[in-house]
Structure 1
Amino acid sequence: MSPTTRRVLQAVLYELVAIAAVGPALSLAFHEPQTSTFALAVVLSTIALAWNYVFNWIFERWESRQGVGGRSLARRLAHGAGFEGGLAVILVPVMSLWLDISPSAAFVANLGLLVFFFVYAIAFTWAFDRAFGLPASAVKNAPKGVDA
């Protein structure tokens, strides 16, 4: 599968599962109707989808220049932290405006989502790599025992 096709497939699958999980959770957390929180989840997911593509492109460019291939736990943790940290910077203002709350309140509200998505990003990426194989950027010089 080409790198572009792989990135698009990964991002779309990731966001579809995320919308299914986050929509109801937002409704409960913010005591809002599900129609409103579903719409917010779609907006957040659309932003995250674009960020996912951009971040993975950046990450894979960095990864391809590393001397050791494969995706160790440390590399997966760095991937998850980088993705979620960048996404938080983007999403906090959106949540603040949508929910009509202060940026600091939106940040606090976003912490629960960050914890969920940090774990979810690592688990999803691992599962995706197991199902579709590692990208070319991670195969080069992969040590034995470090695989998808």
Structure 2
Amino acid sequence: MSNFDRSPAERAFHALCFEVLAIGISAPLAAWITGRSVTSMGILTAVIAVIAMLWNMLFNWLFDRTQARYGFERNYAMRVLHTLGFEAGLIVIVIPLIAVWLQVSLWQALVLDIGLVLFYLPYGFLFNLGYDKIRETLAV
């Protein structure tokens, strides 16, 4: 099974697994770092997760199309680029939301989001490597 014939259902499954695990880890961590309540940060994290899930599906579809066109392998270097591209797009989308939710400046929201990115970069890299490996194993 190739990487570019993923169904919409599989894309949704991939994104949902990614976000559910991430919320479970990041909401309590964000509450601790910001001094906000776990409830407040949990809601914010969940909203960001929904946005991220939709972005994830679109970004991965675009990534698959790019791979189909140029034929590159999904090696470690490509997964690093994939993760960096995904996170850069997400930063642009969620900074205004964080600023409004926490009633802080865009600069403060960016600084806070950098902390989340420092979590999500290795998390996204490792999650996708694991997902690829599991998918490869199940396809055999």
TM-score over 0.5 (shorter chain): yes
Structure that is richer in helix per residue = 2
Across the aligned residues of Structure 1 and Structure 2, the Cα RMSD in angstroms comes to 1.4
Aligned to 2:89: 86
Which residue does the alignment assign to 1:66?
A: 70
SS at structure 1 position matched to 2:32 = helix
Give the TM-score, by structure 1 length. 0.85
Name 1:117's counterpart in structure 2.
120
Structure 1 consecutive aligned stretches of length 4 or more whose deviation exceeds 2 Å: none
Tell me whether 23-32 or 98-107 shows the greater mean CA deviation.
Answer: 23-32
> Which of 99, 106, 109 is the equivalent residue of 1:106?
109
Please state if 1:14 is matched with 2:39.
Answer: no
CA distance in structure 1 between the aligned counterparts of 2:123 and 2:17, rounded to whole angstroms: 12
| Equivalent position SS for 1:59 | helix
CA distance in 2, matches of 1:79, 1:7: 15
Which of 32, 36, 40 aligns to 1:32? It is 36
Shift of 1:5: 2.2
TM norm structure 2: 0.90
Structure 2 CA distance, aligned partners of 1:8 and 1:72?
A: 23
Structure 1 unpaired stretches of 5+:
135-148
Corresponding pairs, count? 133
Identity of aligned residues (%): 34
1:116 shift after superposition = 1.1
**1:73 CA drift (Å):** 1.4
